[in-house]
Structure 1
Amino acid sequence: MPPQPGQKTALITGCTPGGIGHALALQFHKKGVHVVVTARRPEVLKEMADMGMTALPLDVTDAESIAACKEEVSALTGGKLDFLVNNAGLTHTVPATDIVLPDVRNTFETNVFAIMAMVQAFIPLLSASRGLIVNISSLAARTPYVFGSVYCATKAAVDAYSRTLRLELAPLNIRVMVAVTGTVRSNIASRVHRSLLPGSPYEVVRDVFEWRLTYSQNHGTMSTDEYARGVVDAAMRGEGWFGGLWGGSPKWYWGGGFAGMVWLASWFGEWLTDMVFLRKFRVLEMAKRIQEAKKTD
């Protein structure tokens, strides 16, 4: 079913049920927006298609797939798009000592380069409707998320890219909102987990590493629906007044578990965040156990 005349449209990447993209799609749909939901396997989108959404296959790491999606969306909407939500992403939890570079490149391909490719492709449609880009980022961009150095780096790249993108696209009447996401109930942490490499210096604290693998799903976790509701409400505030200086969608939306705490801590300096995360991620405990293990070697 195509959008009705005057109906706003939103394209969301990574809409597999159980994740943030799926929840965002449902919230936009409730707001009366025509939603284009995407996933690598379009068959998982059937329930949303039955609700009246448009379901399209999309691999955000494939240029041909992006081009085909753009062509279909343009035909569907008459060359306009009100919201582009870059949600598709991968987690990457493993010590920096144990990374495998091809695996790291794959995560950057999905979390960073795919966003750049999607933005570049859909700029004409967004400009035609004075649209909004929503990039889903993470508290990991701003915190020492232990064993998440690769993931932290990808999200920090998204934040830096988005800041500059916001200024560059202003002359094209396109706005940019970054969702700084805390712990949210999602299927992202339920996927295949990485392992410590043979001879890893963290072998003696493997239990701590394995505890960390699902940390985001077990500590201060906000429901996916609650998080999505906040993001969509913020995205739909519009352009605001006085060139966006008052009202309108925020440049940065903070949501999810621990988001308020990290936002507040950011005003006090890095020392406070480091002190909290040393304890939260059991770094002092690991240091003690690793040193004790060395003495017995």
Structure 2
Amino acid sequence: MAGPRPGQKTVLITGCTPGGIGHALCLEFHSKGVHVIATARNPAVLSEMAALGMSTLALDVTSTESIKTCHDEVSNLTGGKLDILVNNAGRTHTHPATDIDLDDVRETFETNVFGVMAMCAAFSDLLIEAKGLIINIASLAAITPYVFGSVYCATKGAVVSYSRTLRTELKPFGVRVMVAMTGTVRSQIASKTHRTLPAGSIYQRVKEIFEKRLTFSQNNATVRSEDYARKLVANALKPEWPLVLRSWFGRPDWFWAGGWAGKVWFATWFGEWLLDSVMYRMIGMNQLERVLREEQRQKKLK
């Protein structure tokens, strides 16, 4: 496996299976002359990227042993430095809060939250050596009431809070932390519709709303992963600027992109009531209200 050229920047990206954001980021960083270290649980799916000259490694962000092995391989490959770490690996979770299975919830937190924490801790030495940058892929779900996504929202909210504190802790060491507030982006992972409502769910009466919600991110102002990656990489490679000028000229602390990102950012200035109201109607919860009212009317007629 060929390593980076002398002086060439390096980036490690998690969750790079073709068809998603991670894969698009690999191609975009590579096009900008950065040596990419692409990772996936099964590195065989990364053969296309290996053929382009990228380094490819096996990595399961939920496994301490896998993370340690990857760290040692990266350290040997780069000479003990890492310029950019992109925590992209993630898991969808669309289920009503009243229908969750806690073992399933734990799996989502293992990937979306604990995996991010473990990667930052494990690779901190390489990032400090390079005075590097951590990019944590969060979501607009962290600040919106994304109906039937309470677990996913909770994981992304945790990533946002964790990243803010991590930024402060690593600042003395010259390591930056960027949070990517990601809107709707085309992704094969987000297109999967394997979840179903349990038979006794209180939402069975409007199961069509739940089924529509499963692919909401792929059918509402969705942007191409390539376009999202282009914007993120351009921001990640900007030069360093003082804090007050960072959002306009340098690498920002907060990166907003993807479908709805601009509108959600704007809405945050008006208070949470606006986002609550918009999401409630957009998903169709007012339809559930009508169904429940009709049920009550029918009961009174009996």
Fold shared by both chains (TM-score > 0.5): yes
The percentage of aligned residue pairs carrying the same residue is 61
Amino acid at match of 1:158: V
Q: Which residue of 1 aligns with 2:17?
A: 16
Worse overlay, 201-210 or 189-198: 189-198
Cα deviation code 1:151-202 (max 9, x no counterpart): 0000000000000000000011100000000000001223352211221110
The unaligned stretches of length 5 or more in structure 2 are none
Superposed, 1:87-236 pairs within 5 Å as: 87-191=88-192, 193-236=194-237
Report the Cα distance in structure 1 between the residues aligned to 2:210 and 2:267, rounded to whole angstroms.
25
2:193–2:214 contact (8 Å) kept in structure 1: no
Secondary structure of the equivalent of 1:85?
Answer: strand
Indicate how the Cα distance of structure 1 residues 128 and 243 shifts in structure 2: closer, same or farther if over 3 A, else same.
farther
Q: Which residue of 2 aligns with 1:283?
A: 285
Q: Which residue of 2 aligns with 1:274?
A: 276
1:205–1:290 contact (8 Å) kept in structure 2: no
1:8–1:33 contact (8 Å) kept in structure 2: yes
The unaligned stretches of length 5 or more in structure 1 are none
**Is 1:81 aligned to residue 82 of structure 2?**
yes
Report the Cα distance in structure 2 between the residues aligned to 1:73 and 1:288, rounded to whole angstroms.
56
1:239–1:248 contact (8 Å) kept in structure 2: yes
Report the Cα distance in structure 2 between the residues aligned to 1:8 and 1:291, rounded to whole angstroms.
60
Secondary structure of the equivalent of 2:155?
Answer: helix
Report the Cα distance in structure 1 between the residues aligned to 2:132 and 2:193, rounded to whole angstroms.
36
Amino acid at match of 1:127: I
1:12–1:21 contact (8 Å) kept in structure 2: yes
Indicate how the Cα distance of structure 1 residues 166 and 104 shifts in structure 2: closer, same or farther if over 3 A, else same.
same
Q: Which residue of 1 aligns with 2:255?
A: 253
2:84–2:132 contact (8 Å) kept in structure 1: yes
Amino acid at match of 1:183: T
Q: Find 1:265's aligned residue among 264, 267, 286.
A: 267
Secondary structure of the equivalent of 1:267?
Answer: helix
Cα deviation code 1:127-160 (max 9, x no counterpart): 1111000000000001000000000000000000
Q: Which residue of 1 aligns with 2:71?
A: 70
Secondary structure of the equivalent of 2:27?
Answer: helix
Superposed, 1:44-55 pairs within 5 Å as: 44-55=45-56
1:93–1:193 contact (8 Å) kept in structure 2: no
Cα deviation code 1:203-235 (max 9, x no counterpart): 010111000000000110001000011111111
1:132–1:174 contact (8 Å) kept in structure 2: yes
Report the Cα distance in structure 2 between the residues aligned to 1:206 and 1:53, rounded to whole angstroms.
44
Amino acid at match of 1:24: L
Report the Cα distance in structure 2 between the residues aligned to 1:243 and 1:295, rounded to whole angstroms.
59
TM-score in terms of structure 1 length:
0.97
